[in-house]
Each structure stands twice: as structure tokens, then as C-alpha cells.
Amino acid sequence: MNPLSTAIKFFQDCGLFIFPSLTIMAFGVAIAIERLLFLSRARNDNRKVWDQVLPLLQGGRFKDVALITEKSDAAISRIVNNGLVRLQSARRREDIDAAMEEGMMEIVPRLEKRTHYIATFANVITLVGLLGTIMGLIKGFTAVAAVNPAEKAEMLSASISIAMNNTAFALMVAIPFLLIHSFLQSRASEIVDSLEAAKITFLNLVQRLAPEQNGHGAQSAPNGSSAHGAPGARAAQGAAAYARA
């Protein structure tokens, strides 16, 4: 028998319980593909936006950063924008951190959305396959009850072999589902960790630029030129100007 004929016979031997198993598999595969595409796009968008805004943040060009983050749908844009908005009314690190953490609380559920269904489907399809096997065994034992004793052993072994197809198919689906679930969880955790790192970088830059602005604003260079000519001072001026805006 060729592989196609073997597969067709395998599904036919599973009986009616193969249909709920196939339905569960279809839903699980659809969710896995959707989550994989979503997380891949989220990671790429975050990386692209962060590569754009990090040099601007280091230069104190917070207004330019605000323009970029307001137009972007990336998760990191939402977090940075929350921090910039709070920077206009508060300069304490705790206040800015709380605003950015609020953005994190909105983003993390979207990253983990529907992923847990894959593990649930893995458990459910295993139970459905086991139920199909038990029903097949019941049917097999009932059928051999009225058969010639000489044929009972052969017929019973054939019935058991067929009934086990349900559990075999369920396990063939459940094992990849569990692996996919673990992979998606690790990918989501990786994105969350990168967002946390970006948040800490943003807070450190804001905290560093504010003292620089206070220190350089009242001092002049020995030759009479303003200290605002230094790159660090210009960055601090940008941060202060955005905070006053």
C-alpha cells in the first residue's frame, strides 16, 4: 500500500472520533500560525522602532522621538510614548516608570493572547483520542462475544489494533502542540524582556540628562563660552525643553 492509501485506511479505522480530533487540530494549527506571525511581526517592529529612537533619545531629541512613536503601532512605541507624556508633567523616575509600566500591562496580554489554547487543545485531543480508543475496545469486545471461539483471539487483536489508532493520532497532534506552545511562550517572553530592557534604558537616559541640564545650565566655560555647546549639554537642553513643552 502506498502512503496515501495507508493514511486513508488509518483515518477510516479511527471511526467517528477522528472528526472532533481533526477539528481540534485545525483550531490549534490556526492559532499557532496566527500567534507565530503576530509575535514575529511584533519583534521586528519593536527592533526597527528602537533602532530609530535610541540615537534620538541619546541626543535628547525627545520631540522627534514623540513624533515617531505616535505614528507607530509597535509595542515599544506605546511604552516610550507613555514615558514621554509623563515626562511633561513629572520628572521623578518612579512616576515615569509607572506610566511606562501601565503600557506594559496593556501590551503583555496581547503578546500572550490565545497561546494557552494550544496547550489546552493538546490535553483535550489526547482525552478525545483516549475516549475513541475506549469506545473502540468496547465495540470490539461486544462484537467478539458472539463469534466462534476459534476466531475470537484473531478478531479481538484486530479490534484492539484499530481502536488504538485514535490514541496514536491524538498523540501525534498533542506532542507537536506542546512543543509549539513552549516555543511561542519563549518568543513572547523574549519580547517582554526586550521591552523591559528598553524601558530601563529610557529611564536611565532621562535620569542622566536631567542632572546634566541642571549642572550645565548655570555654568560657563573658562573662556567665557557657554557650556551648552557640549553635546551632552545640548542633549540635556532638549530633554528639559521637551519636559517644559
Domain boundaries, the chain: 17-215+223-244
Which three cell numbers, joined as nine digits, stand for 7? 493514511
Contacts of 82-87 spanning 24+ positions with Cβ under 8 A: 83/199, 83/202, 83/203, 83/206, 84/242, 87/62, 87/206, 87/239, 87/242, 87/243
Please report the pLDDT score of residue 26 as a whole number.
96
Helix (H) or strand (E) holding 195: helix 149-217
In the block, cell 542622566 appears at: 208
Non-local CB neighbours of 155 within 8 Å, separated by 6+ positions: 140, 143, 144, 147
Per-residue pLDDT of the chain (245 residues; tens, 9 = 90+): 677 777 777 777 777 888 999 999 999 999 999 999 999 999 999 999 999 999 988 888 888 888 998 888 899 999 999 888 888 887 788 888 898 988 889 899 999 999 999 999 999 999 999 998 888 888 778 877 777 776 777 777 777 777 788 889 999 999 999 999 999 999 999 999 999 999 999 888 888 775 554 454 444 444 444 444 444 444 444 544 454 45
Distance, in Å, from the CA atom of 45 to the CA atom of 79, rounded to the nearest integer, reads: 13
Q: What is the DSSP letter of 112?
A: S
Please report the pLDDT score of residue 187 as a whole number.
94
